[in-house]
Structure 1
């Protein structure tokens, strides 16, 4: 895929804030979400782990889905989801039902972010089979059609067609799953890597009969310069997420990136 082809993808820039549920008690997380929404952030994400991913390994930490249900009730405008849910931790049909329920609580603001899982400590301490990268991806490929089928059976159904966000950049399996199922594809790619991966994803879209332009391209902002973000934008990225961690959840960088979003959307 060429830069010019990628940059022709439609869509406004959106900014997400990943409020990592670590190193802070719930009142601080709740307060941070209120501030993030008030700033006009488009999406609030958490993550689906059972232990901190940085800092004190046994530090404060909370579970993803129960937080998301509370967030759905607390907020009124911001979209929300996990970046990303771990498919291995819950039965596929149960995931679909939980997603549908949170979609109703939020009034249709839920994003079903999912992936195959990777943090081995979560698996070991909670009694899940870690398997291999390949086996976990195979399970995700099997479970996504089950999730979609369950959404079609639930009464009441989801408020809307719940957007599916898939994280990861594996070229043989992950991007094929993305081409088949995702409304949003998230990666941590540099501009050079993103350009290459988009070419691979475009090939998989051709294989499965999908238009790449239907998939919103999502990436991470933490550690990025404005120049890098501009390059990712030119390649077609439209959802940019900034990671925030407790105990303090510094929102100053988020404010700066929201201003960058507004400048892009004014073009």
Structure 2
């Protein structure tokens, strides 16, 4: 299965002292022509002032679902630890309906210890968090099958991470999209391991869309485009740039959208 090239932006909900700045960034991103607008699921900034302005992601996705009309939306990625899987399934179903079928459920095992400590979640270990993710994914799928009304369609599940023993196995079992933060050579090796996991469960690895970060605004546009070309040649079709507040500089996205149109012909 050949997926068309798509461009995503991760509008990081940090360092924006007013939500209006994020609302404006979503509007500009859709106007530029991006395909997917992501935020992230943290409670504190990941860089810059560690106690700077920050907003919660899922309530924001409900607002984006009403504000936007074309782009897909989602978190890159939801932390599995922060919500009961059945509740998360219901939240995703609800945003799916509000957006008329444009939600991507991005999910990962979690890693940012400050979030856990400040909000009272058990941090556990990397292994225990991955085990929890493995238990949550079928529970989410089971809850979707029970909800009334049902989701508008099969909500695509994006799984973030590149762990060879667990995460890539979960992608093979449950993922529609695999997201990673890998350089080309490492991506190629991990993709081969994903193919092995797919073979073990009788799945064609080409049915999984590949997603990765194309760069950050600190990178030059030429560097972002070179990396996008190299990743697309390896089969990556969803390329995302992360952008932080308060200004949300989207200039790399305009260049990537033009590049996308050329690649897709």
**Is the TM-score greater than 0.5?**
yes
Identify the residue that residue 238 of structure 1 maps to in structure 2: 237
Aligned mate of 1:103, from 69, 75, 96: 96
Number of residue pairs matched?
258
Give distance in 2, aligned partners of 1:259 and 1:192. 26
TM score, norm. by length of structure 2: 0.96
Q: Which runs of 4+ in 1 moved over 4 A?
A: none
Identify the residue that residue 47 of structure 1 maps to in structure 2: 40
Query: Conserved in 1, the CA contact under 8 Å of 2:8 and 2:35?
Result: yes
Give distance in 2, aligned partners of 1:144 and 1:239. 22
Q: How does 1:35-184 map to 2 (within 5 A)?
A: 35-184=28-177
CA offsets, 1:183-241, max 9 Å, x none?
Answer: 00000110000100000000000011111011000000114532222111111000000
Give the RMSD, CA atoms, in angstroms.
0.8
Identify the residue that residue 193 of structure 1 maps to in structure 2: 186
TM score, norm. by length of structure 1: 0.95
Give distance in 2, aligned partners of 1:186 and 1:249. 22
Give distance in 1, aligned partners of 2:85 and 2:4. 32
Give ranges in structure 1 of 5+ residues lacking alignment: 1-8
Q: Residue 199 of structure 1 aligns to a residue in which SS?
A: helix
Could you say if the C-alpha distance between residues 170 and 122 of structure 1 is closer, same or farther in structure 2, counting changes exceeding 3 Å?
same
Give distance in 1, aligned partners of 2:169 and 2:74. 22
Identify the residue that residue 264 of structure 1 maps to in structure 2: 263
Give distance in 2, aligned partners of 1:250 and 1:145. 38
